[in-house]
A and B are shown apart, each in its own frame.
Chain A
Amino acid sequence: MRKFSVFAVAREALRGHKGWGPHWASPEPRPQYDVIIIGGGGHGLGAAYYLAKEHGITNVAVLEKGWIGGGNTGRNTTIIRSNYLYEESMDIYEHSLKLWENLSQDLNYNVMYSPRGVMMLSHNIHDQQSFKRHINANRLYGIDNEWLTPEQAKAYCPPLDIAKSARYPINGAALQRRGGTARHDAVAWGYARAASDRGVHIIQNCEVTGIRRDETGRVTGVDTNRGFIGAKKVGISAAGHSSVLMQMADVRVPLQSQPLQALVSEPLKPIFPCVVMSNSVHAYISQSDKGEFVIGAGTDQYNSYSQTGGLQIITHTLDAICELFPMFRRVKMMRQWGGIVDVTQDRSPIQGVTPVPGLYLNAGWGTGGFKATPGSANLFAHLIARGEPHRLSAGLTLERFRTGRLIDEAAAAAVAH
């Protein structure tokens, strides 16, 4: 693999950029692997990378039904933050945020992590109490989060309308300065390149159609549209299709798949310096380095695998954004799309062992999986390699829906879905 450096870029600039080769190999699948990871998004590719890097397991394949990063990794709004309420959530999202901070150097690939700050708007006394509770919980746990007055919020994000007469008046905001955005495609490509360099097989256009088990119930491999591929361990990291795959192993999981939409505007000059979210009126918005406003809408109310969604969902979000930022009212929207998110009842992820020996599950990231990519991948690799969860993800078990030890971020979510 060619290392990216200022000298490599300068050399290629002089040669018309004709010397860049493919960033990852596309090998034929072997008949048998130590580990198969189903799902070539950021979580799956990252887990393969960390298996190779930190656990010395390189006989690994990542099977992807479509193309890598073409699912939710390429469909999200790229927001990164770790200001969650409960310790189980703070553990994993903060672990992730720390990995984000050094990810470009680690992968030798620019993922364009930009800690521009994530600001959550408070519109009423309930928001204020809830956000201050979050701020206190975060600060006690060593995570940065601070309260801003409306004037401070306006100073941090000048397009914001803080007039008392506004349709959605603002009485303050919570700000996590280390939060921000990253380039989502680069995350998938960077992990793929670094994993491939360490011997991981990345196999695209390879759809898993069945999970095979021996007479003891243990996983022996997967059936795919390219034939049977054997494996000692299988990790599922397939977002909205996690329950479809788990059904192949005869396990029902507490997941519901729903469409979640996002949209981008026409490109504008830099005007929006941070990420702004509003829970009460459902809006979140940031500006990409290309100049597009990246806007996240809500989930549809029904289960679906259609990767689309209702128009009323995105107009609802745009209504709120036009009120919060009146100067954006004449901005044209350019593209809209949907992804299928797998939502748990407590809105917290599931990462852990399953009732099937050798089968591991990383799912339920719902509407907030992108920010968790490095941390989730890192801990999922630990789970697969050791067969037991890391301390930081030990609470995210599948059993919590039986024991009742839920992690109730549903009531604590930054944006209600």
Chain B
Amino acid sequence: MLLIYCPYCEEERSELEFRNAGDAHIARPTNIADISDEEFEAYFFLRDNPKGVIFERWRHIHGCSRFFNAARDTVSDRFLTTYKAGEPKPDLDAQPKTAATVETYEALEGAAQ
């Protein structure tokens, strides 16, 4: 279970109080009725799904109920920072902090034959 720092409550709370709300910094086109199918697909369906740092929205649904943004490493699940909605994307090193997943074959069994 993750521990998440809510920038509004200024407190680190259990993941149970929060709801993940997908990628952050995705702007809805202002001319949504006019855009092409390709543009709508890119806005609505296509995501980077990065192995490394992801910028995502969380909602403190059982707390202050507000949306905020977080930068998290999807390999280690470690939060790099959380920040309030509307603030610019922080400039972070986009590489994963470790290349190793939590459970690797080498760690368990050695080299495959």
List residues of chain A with CB under 8 Å of any chain B CB. Answer: 26, 66-67, 70, 204-205, 241, 243-244, 247, 252-257, 301-308, 310-312, 337, 345, 401-404
Chain B: number of interface residues, binned into ranges: 20 to 34
CB distance from B104 to the nearest CB of A (A): 7
Residue of B nearest to A257 (CB): B49
Say yes or no for B19: interface residue by CB 8 A criterion.
yes
* B residues less than 8 Å from A301 (CB atoms): 19-20
* B residues less than 8 Å from A401 (CB atoms): 41, 44-46
A26, A252, A337, A403, most chain B CB atoms within 10 A: A252
Is the CB–CB distance between B105 and A67 below 8 Å? yes
Say yes or no for B10: interface residue by CB 8 A criterion.
no
CA distance in complex: A152, B6 (Å): 50
Is the CB–CB distance between B16 and A304 below 8 Å? no
Within 8 A of A (CB), among B12-71: 15-16, 19-20, 37-38, 40-42, 44-49, 51, 54, 56
Main secondary structure of the interface of A (DSSP, over half): loop
* B residues less than 8 Å from A302 (CB atoms): 2, 20, 56, 72, 77
Say yes or no for B112: interface residue by CB 8 A criterion.
yes
Is the CB–CB distance between B37 and A255 below 8 Å? no
Is the CB–CB distance between A403 and B37 below 8 Å? yes
Total contacts A-B at CB 8 Å: 84
Is the CB–CB distance between B2 and A310 below 8 Å? yes
| Residues A312 and B1 in contact in the complex (CB < 8 Å), given A253-B46, A306-B77 | yes
**B104's contact among A66, A204, A241, A247, by CB below 8 Å, is which?**
A66
Is the CB–CB distance between A306 and B49 below 8 Å? no
Is the CB–CB distance between A306 and B16 below 8 Å? no
CA distance in complex: A403, B38 (Å): 9
* B residues less than 8 Å from A243 (CB atoms): 47-49
* B residues less than 8 Å from A305 (CB atoms): 51, 74-75, 101
CB distance from A365 to the nearest CB of B (A): 15
Is the CB–CB distance between A307 and B102 below 8 Å? yes
Residue of B nearest to A259 (CB): B77
**A204's contact among B38, B46, B102, B112, by CB below 8 Å, is which?**
B112
Is the CB–CB distance between A308 and B103 below 8 Å? yes
Is the CB–CB distance between B51 and A244 below 8 Å? yes
**A306's contact among B45, B101, B109, B112, by CB below 8 Å, is which?**
B101
Is the CB–CB distance between B111 and A205 below 8 Å? yes
